[in-house]
Amino acid sequence: MQDTFTILVADRNPNVRELLKRELTAKGYRVHLARSCREVLGFIDNASGTPDLLIADPDLPDGDEIPLLEVIRGLAPDLPVVIHTFLADYILHPPVPAGAAVVEKDGGQVDRLKDIVHDLLHRPGPP
């Protein structure tokens, strides 16, 4: 088992990105930030290695151009994904892909998000 996991946080809102980085770093995770689908794919399709988990806002600025979760499944089929969104907004998106979790964006949900991240990273089998 790894000592330190790397998490990629992709969100359109810089305040959300920084909040999640601060919260997850305090739990001992390495955190990288992305502002767009293209940045996410740059991290995932990188020679230095895929992150251990992705937390993604499905409404990234260039999300209409890239079916992000489909492309990620092709590049890193075992990558755990947490969809971090307002549930009312997610109704317009496709069904949650297998292996993904959904956590609502809400100030009170940060602890739930951290619990889900922990569970996904520490479940039996490859992260």
99 or 50, higher pLDDT:
50
Model pLDDT for residues 40-74, shown as the tens digit of each residue: 999 998 766 789 999 998 888 887 656 888 888 88
CA count, 13 A, side-chain hemisphere, 124: 0
CA dist., res. 9 & res. 71, Å (int): 17
In a domain, 39, yes or no: yes
Look up the CATH number of the domain holding residue 43.
3.40.50.2300
In a domain, 28, yes or no: yes
| pLDDT of the residue at 32 | 96
Q: How many domains does the chain have?
A: 1
In a domain, 127, yes or no: no
Of 2-11, 46-55, 80-89, 92-101, which range is least confident? 92-101
In a domain, 100, yes or no: yes
Supply 80's token pair: 């755990």
**Averaged over 75-97, what is the pLDDT?**
74
Residues 6+ apart with CB under 8 A from 55: 7, 8, 9, 10, 11, 20, 81, 82, 84, 113, 117
Domain membership of residue 92 as a residue range: 6-121
In a domain, 101, yes or no: yes
Q: What is the pTM of this model?
A: 0.85
In a domain, 1, yes or no: no
